[in-house]
Amino acid sequence: MEQEKVEEERRRKEEKELRDKQEKESEAQPEKAEKEDGNARLQDFLNDVDTKPNENSGSKTAPPADPAAASEDDLLSSFLSSVEAPPAHKPAPPAPSAPRWKESAADLGDAAQQIERLATGPNAFWKNLNPFAVLRLPHTAEERDIAGRYRALASLVHPDKCRLGGSPKEPRPVFVPRFVR
């Protein structure tokens, strides 16, 4: 082992002397000298890497010293394996049977209830600024659900379509003009 180190040191000295000699000769060509110097440094580095014992040879994961680190490593590896693993099956999108806005019109109730809710409900004070509260949808609703619920509610409470009494000659309730400005 010592003999190998001595030979390595001798070889390095020879390489360094050779580089120094090349540097002196190539002072007229500084660009070439810089390139050769960089190459020589790279070669020295590669030689150093080759001669050092490889600390990572052997198993990829050495057992950690303390059990807490072992459990953290196990948790990390299980997380990474679950992230990298493809899902077992991809859920199929629901088949479009009927437009969602028609389905959502059924749970809105009648026009009188909706107009009363919009005119005197808790959001009426703030002029119904929260569209999710007006449409009674969660904030995570999809765009098509929002559009469908809007169409259903608009057709239900629109002043031209909502007659509440039936006949166009009958007067509308007091709270209907609040929506017509």
Residue ranges of domains in the chain:
1-50, 100-179
Residue 73: pLDDT over 60? yes
Please provide the distance, in angstroms rounded to a whole number, between the alpha carbons at the two ends of the chain.
97
Mean local confidence (pLDDT), 148-163: 83
Q: How far is CA 147 from CA 37, 99, 135, 142, 160, in A?
A: 69, 11, 10, 9, 20
pLDDT at 32 over 70: no
Question: Which residues, in sequence order, are CB contacts of 44 under 8 Å at separation 6+?
Answer: 12, 15
96 touches 142 (CB < 8 A): no
d(CA 104, CA 144): 11
- Pick the residue with more confidence: 68 or 122? 122
- Residue 93: what pLDDT? 66
| Amino acid (1-letter code) at residue 60 | K
